[in-house]
Amino acid sequence: MKPRVLRKGDTIGIISPSSGAAGLFPHRVERGRAALESLGFRVVLAEHAMGRRGWVSGTPEERAADLHRMFADPDVKAVMAAIGGDHSGQLLPHLDFDLIAANPKVFVGFSDVTVLNLAIHARTGLVTFNGPTLMTDFAEFPEPPAYSVEHFLRAVAEPIGGGAPIGEAVPTPAPIGDLAPAPGWTDEFLDWGTKADLTRPRALKPSSGWTWLKSGRGEGPLLGGCIESMQHLRGTPYWPDFHGALLFLETSEDKPSSAWVDGVLADYENMGVLAAASGLLFARPYGYDEEEREALRRVILERTRAYSFPVLADVDFGHTSPMLTLPVGVRAVLDADARRFAITEAAVDG
């Protein structure tokens, strides 16, 4: 089940399903709102989007109600998280998946929003999007990274015809197509509390491209997200079926060690996740130096040694910036010999 393509003038609803950071850093919310409005969208904030209740934005019931209202409102065409956190899982017992399924629309976020992306997809079949949140890339100074904006629009808003204007009447959206690395990237932190993030852009490092770790060709639906957040779904009814999937994984700003990732990937072996998958994509890790990145690559190679699928590392999604928008549940191809990563199916309907 696919959401309707976004067009100029459509409204994007903002929720805070976990962290209360929107209330702490309202300047990031306003910058993100302005960026979306400059793209031609309207923006509306949910009732508790700016809330603060300890480390979350509201009670689980309040946060779930915000999500429900956004899905039920016919004027809202997309739902975007303000930011992640660590407590989206608290919403799951309160979610009305029938309501969500009856009102399919773009739902986008990353990090802890992985929990909702995968749970909604597993329970309804709705394509969700692992992509930027309001307070991350869209709020960057002096403007959002062009790569992040381009790939967000390609995933959810670009009509058929290879660059036709948003809003143009078209019969069927096109597949996202071939993807390429960003020319540069950053994991620099400029403090939001002191508003250092308003003083200059974050420093970019030149990109050496993506790293092909294993040969082969795999094709299947994209499934995955933040590896730490996915831990919240194990053993629950919301864990997806990875049979034939291209598994994509990223690490958060908490910078889990290679030893920790090694343990989780070993769990995935024991759970049959890796045996079921048709390929693996691993994001460029946030906060790692080159020695740590190389240690992580060795772990990935060791844990996937028994499988014939291709493995691509250091991909532009997740906590480093800029980032791709990856549609959960949409078919893609990973071809190491052709050095090709492409999303071969449209992620939205006309």
Q: Quick one: 280 and 162 in the same domain?
A: no
Same domain, 43 and 73: yes
SS3 category, 56: strand
Does 192 lie in the same domain as 164? no
How high is the pLDDT of residue 161? 35
Residue 250 sits in a domain whose CATH number is 3.50.30.60
CATH classification of the domain holding 67: 3.40.50.10740
Residue 60 lies in a domain: yes
- C-alpha torsion sign, points 46, 48, 50, 56: negative
Residues 65 and 118 in one domain: yes
Whether the CB-CB separation of 132 and 148 falls below 8 Å is answered with yes
Report helix, strand and coil shares of the chain as percent, to nearest 5: 30, 20, 45
Instruction: Look up tokens 């329970």; give the residue.
Output: 123
280: which strand partners? 247, 311
Select from 129, 152, 172 the last residue of a domain: 172
- Of 143, 172, 201, which one is at a domain's C-terminal end? 172
Residue 277 sits in which domain range? Answer: 184-343
Structural domain contains residue 275: yes
Residues 140 and 225 in one domain: no
pLDDT of residue 172: 74
How many residues are recorded in the chain?
350
Tell me the average confidence (pLDDT) per consecutive run of 10 residues in the chain, 350 residues long.
95 98 98 97 97 96 98 98 97 98 98 98 98 98 97 82 48 88 97 98 96 98 98 96 97 96 98 98 97 97 97 97 98 97 95
Instruction: Quote the number of domains for the chain.
Output: 2
Report pLDDT for 159.
54
Whole-number pLDDT of residue 350 = 86
DSSP class per residue in 140-187: -SSS--HHHHHHHHHHHTPPTTTSPPTT---SSPPP-EEE---SEEB-
Give me the phi and psi of 261, to 5 degrees please. -60, -40
pLDDT at 121: 98
β 311-315/211-214 pair status: antiparallel
- Residue 3: inside a domain, yes or no? no
One domain, residues 73 and 94: yes
pLDDT value for 173: 86
User: Does residue 40 contact residue 8 with C-beta atoms inside 8 Å?
Assistant: yes
Q: Are 283 and 243 members of one domain?
A: yes
By the 8 A CB rule, do 81 and 134 touch? yes
203 and 108 belong to one structural domain: no
141 and 233 inside one domain: no
| In-domain check, residue 178 | no
Q: Are 219 and 246 in contact (CB under 8 A)?
A: yes
Last residue of a domain, one of 172, 205, 235: 172
In one letter, which amino acid is 202?
R
Do the domain assignments include residue 266?
yes
Residues 262, 131 share a domain: no
Q: Is residue 349 in some structural domain? A: no
Q: Measure the CA–CA gap between 32 and 43, rounded to whole angstroms.
A: 10
Q: Provide the 10 A C-beta neighbour count for residue 39.
A: 16
Record the tokens describing residue 343, joined without a space.
Answer: 């999303």
> What token pair was written down for 144?
């959002």
Long-range contacts of 56-59, Cβ-Cβ distance < 8 Å, separation of 24 or more = 56/18, 56/19, 56/20, 56/85, 56/87, 56/90, 57/16, 57/17, 57/18, 57/19, 57/20, 57/22, 57/23, 58/16, 58/20
211 and 162 within one domain: no
Are 138 and 269 within one domain?
no
CB 121 within 8 A of CB 239: no
**Domain-embedded: residue 191:** yes
d(CA 329, CA 73): 24
Q: What is the pLDDT of residue 48?
A: 97
Which spans in 39-172 are helix H?
A: 60-72, 97-102, 114-124, 146-156
